[in-house]
Each structure stands twice: as structure tokens, then as C-alpha cells.
Structure 1
Amino acid sequence: MEFDKHCVDNTNYHIYSIYYDNDNNDVIRHSISKPYYKEKLRLRSYKITKNPNDIVFLELKKKINKIVSKRRIVLTFKEAIDFLENGIRPSSDDYINNQVLNEIEYYLHTNSVHLSVFIGYSRKAFFAKDNHDFRLTIDSKILTRREDLSLSSGYYGKDILENNQYLMEVKILGAIPLWFTNILSELKIYNTHFSKYGTEFMNYTKQQQLNIQRREQLC
């Protein structure tokens, strides 16, 4: 395999996202119940935003019967905040961009969501030399927080992985190459499901329960 173009000089790059949910966390509760259809809204950047003109990506991630699709639009940080917080729609002459904006606008109209969770991580990504549809990513330092929710606030929070743990994802449109299947078999690596946001929510719920128990003991 060879490094993804985003891994400049074969180094990791970073991904920072703010997820939107309501006060009851209904979006993530629905998501981890493994429904036939689910969707999440997130604001994503590949660097800590320093000024209003920095580029960000507003995404509506959908999953229908295990098939994932992303509706994404590129905006400035200011355009994204004006749209999400003040309802000021960005102007665009592009048909696809307007379609994405229509979908996100409808989602915001039908779902009372707000800034909920920050999730940032370091990523190393590869493509197969003979098949660029076969992509492998290794994520580490998956830091999350539920306060100071801005892409400009920096990369910090609680790591949802244990020490020396990594999240490896294999992304491919067709069959996994035989050589890679053999490696997985030899190392006894098996397929499993892992959601960064879902894991963060489960950890958050456990902590909330512990806090309640502690308060009850004090009383």
C-alpha cells in the first residue's frame, strides 16, 4: 500500500468534527439502536480554525441498510456558523451545493439539534497500489469533549481509546484483496462495529450514572 495524499511526508493528519444532537441525545440514541435508516449532522475541519475564512465541511451523513453516504458542502467557517446558528443560508450558483443545502436546511427544520460533541483524532491513511478503491485508515488519540464546542478551540479532550489502542477501518467498494485477508487471518483480526460518537455517548452515560450514584451516597 502507499500513503494517502493527505499524509504529507508520510505523517498523520488530523480530523476535527462537531456533532449536532438535541438535549436528550436522540440522534445518537437512535443511531446506536441499529435502525434501518439514520442520519447525523456534523461540521468538520482538517485543521484548527483560526479565522472566519478558514475552510470547513458541513456534512449530513446517512446510512441506509448498512450503506453509508455523505452529503457534503464546502463553506467558510463564518458561512457555516451563520447558517447553523443564525439561519443565514450561504449563496451558491451550483446545483449540487444547493441540493445539499436544501437537505441540511430540511434536517435543521425537522430536528431541534445544536452543538453536542467534539471528536478529534489523528489519522494515518493508505491506498492499495493496484486498487485505489481499497483504502485503509488507522486512527489514534480519539479525543472527545462536551464543552467548549468550537472548531477553533483546539484539539483536547478525553481519549476513548486505551493506551496503545488504534482504530483500523477498511474501506472498499468490492471484495477485500486476498493478500489482505490472509494477513487479517494470520494476525487473528476480526471484523467488528465501532462508532466514535456511539462510544463517546456510552462513556458519557456511564459517567452520568456514576455522578448520580455519588450524589445519592453523599445525601
Structure 2
Amino acid sequence: MSQFQSIFKRYEKKYILTSWQKQKFLETAKLYLAKDKYFHSTICSIYYDTPSRLMIRNSIEKPIYKEKLRLRSYGTPSADDKVFIELKKKYRGVVYKRRTAMTLREAEMFLSGKLLPKTQIEKELAWALKYYEGIEPAMFVSYERDSYCGIQDSTLRITFDSNPLIREEKLSLADGVWGEKILQDGLYIMEVKTPYAMPLWLADELDRFKIFPSSFSKYGTGYINSLKKQNTSELENVQKIKKLA
């Protein structure tokens, strides 16, 4: 397997853009941004959670600390294709991520407790699996992503996600890309990722085109949509929390 980054520590900010805002932003940002080596990708994830969906309920409450566990691929993998198991933590606005690569077959065995951890990162993942009792595949999320990186600062990454889809059935990455739309056509989720403070040129461009931060979560939105269909009392609690946030 080729080398990949297994540990991340950075700030991440999300924004919801219209097609016009995206076009204008990229026109003026071309002096600072270049297309990433892997510019376009279809990202697929299976989010793992407890039967009561403790992890996403906690995340929606916007605590100081929260975490998510997911299995991720680029495109639809076969059993022997490489995928990534990721534990994403956020503490006081800083994102910490640990990830390891396995084949899809190995990853599904690991996540079901049938494969023992070997590396330090795998041990951290195994601890999370044990801590969240009964953890299981909870939701499939996919989207189309275009990625850019800074010309002068390669640690700066800006991505644009479109057509996010979710489903709560057929929870294997091998089952392909399909599901329910959770974002209006013509809108994009822009994410700014940097280990440092946001560069001044970027802050100026965001202000120029009235691009404001958004707390949009794909898994969180999918979870709320699911509650709406069930018409449960839990939805009322989530809505109260979002109003207070």
C-alpha cells in the first residue's frame, strides 16, 4: 500500500455556498489555490454509532469534546480494495484524526471485533469500539468532492462537497453510491482546513462574497431527517438543542 497520512491536527471550518459564490470565490482565489493531486473524488463513509446513536446525539449538542468513528473509501470498493478506518475527535475547535488503512474485508472484520489490533492507532480504534458498547454501522454517507491546496502554503486545503446522499440500509461500502439527498441542488459545502490561522487573503474573500460559517454535518443532517420520518420525541429534543446552540 502507498504511504498516507495517518495523524491529523488542524482547524476545520465549514461554509454553505451557492453556485455563484463558489464560482466567484474560485475566480479570485486562483492566485492562491491549485487543484489537489487527487482533485475529484467520490467519498463514501459508513458512520458507526451505538444503538441509541449516542455519538451523533452528543455531537449535535455541540460539546467542547466530541468524536465520530467511520469507515471511508474513495469510490465503491471491492473486498480487497483499500479503505480507511478513521476516529475523528474535535476539542475546542481543533480537529484530531487517527486513521489506518486495511482492505474492506479486513476493516469490516476489525470493526466487528474479529481482527485484533496491531499498531498503536489500531489499538486506539479498538478502545473506542470497546468504549461505545454495541457500536454498529449506523449510516452511509457519500458526496462528490473537489479539492484544492495552497500554492504558497501546501498545508492549506479547501474542499467543495456536492450531492451528499445518506441511507440507513445496505450499510456496506461495497453496496455502491445511492441514497437520499440531504442538500439542495446548486449548493456546496466548502471546508477550510489548516493547522494555522486562516490567511488574510482568504478571510478577505469570504467577507467579500458574504460567505459565512455553517455547522452543517452530513451525518447529523441524516440523523435529524431520520427522526423526522419516525416523528419521535427525540426530534423535539434535538430541535431545542439546535435553537440554543
TM-score normalised by the chain length of structure 2: 0.77
* 1:96-149 deviation line (CA, Å, top 9, x unaligned): xx1111111111112121010000110001012111122110000101000011
User: Which residue does 1:69 correspond to in 2?
Assistant: 96
Amino acid at match of 1:81: E
**8 Å CA contact 2:71, 2:86 repeated in 1:** yes
Tell me the C-alpha RMSD between the 2 structures: 1.4
Q: Work out the CA distance in 1 between the residues paired with 2:75 and 2:229.
A: 30
Q: Percent identity?
A: 42
Q: Work out the CA distance in 1 between the residues paired with 2:206 and 2:113.
A: 48
| 3-state SS in 1 of match to 2:173 | coil
| 3-state SS in 2 of match to 1:127 | strand
Matched, 1:22 2:54: no
Q: Work out the CA distance in 1 between the residues paired with 2:174 and 2:72.
A: 11
Within 5 A, what are the aligned runs for 1:20-99?
Answer: 20-50=48-78, 52-89=79-116, 92=118, 98-99=119-120
Within 5 A, what are the aligned runs for 1:169-208?
Answer: 169-208=191-230
* 1:128-181 deviation line (CA, Å, top 9, x unaligned): 211112211000010100001100001010111011111011112223232222
> Which residues of structure 2 form unaligned runs of 5+?
1-32, 233-245
> What number of residue pairs does the alignment pair up?
199
Larger relative contact order, structure 1 or 2 (CA cutoff 8 Å, min sep 6): 2
Amino acid at match of 2:131: T
Within 5 A, what are the aligned runs for 1:111-126?
Answer: 111=132, 112-126=134-148
**8 Å CA contact 2:82, 2:103 repeated in 1:** yes
| 3-state SS in 2 of match to 1:152 | helix
| Runs of 4 or more above 6 Å deviation | none
User: Which residue does 2:154 correspond to in 1?
Assistant: 132
Q: Work out the CA distance in 2 between the residues paired with 1:206 and 1:172.
A: 35
User: Which residue does 1:109 correspond to in 2?
Assistant: 130
TM-score normalised by the chain length of structure 1: 0.86
| 3-state SS in 2 of match to 1:117 | strand
The structural deviation recorded for 1:86 is 4.3
Q: Work out the CA distance in 2 between the residues paired with 1:132 and 1:36.
A: 29
Q: Work out the CA distance in 2 between the residues paired with 1:76 and 1:26.
A: 28
Q: Work out the CA distance in 1 between the residues paired with 2:45 and 2:80.
A: 17
The structural deviation recorded for 1:192 is 2.2
Amino acid at match of 2:124: E
**8 Å CA contact 2:50, 2:135 repeated in 1:** yes
| 3-state SS in 2 of match to 1:4 | strand
Matched, 1:2 2:29: no
Rg (Cα) greater in structure: 1
| 3-state SS in 2 of match to 1:6 | strand
Q: Residues 55 and 187 of structure 1: is their aligned pair in 2 closer, same or farther, counting only changes over 3 Å? A: same
Q: Work out the CA distance in 1 between the residues paired with 2:55 and 2:88.
A: 12
User: Which of residues 185, 188, 203 is equivalent to 1:163?
Assistant: 185
| 3-state SS in 1 of match to 2:125 | helix
Q: Work out the CA distance in 1 between the residues paired with 2:55 and 2:82.
A: 26
Q: Work out the CA distance in 2 between the residues paired with 1:175 and 1:103.
A: 29
| 3-state SS in 1 of match to 2:139 | strand
Amino acid at match of 2:58: H
Q: Work out the CA distance in 2 between the residues paired with 1:83 and 1:133.
A: 31
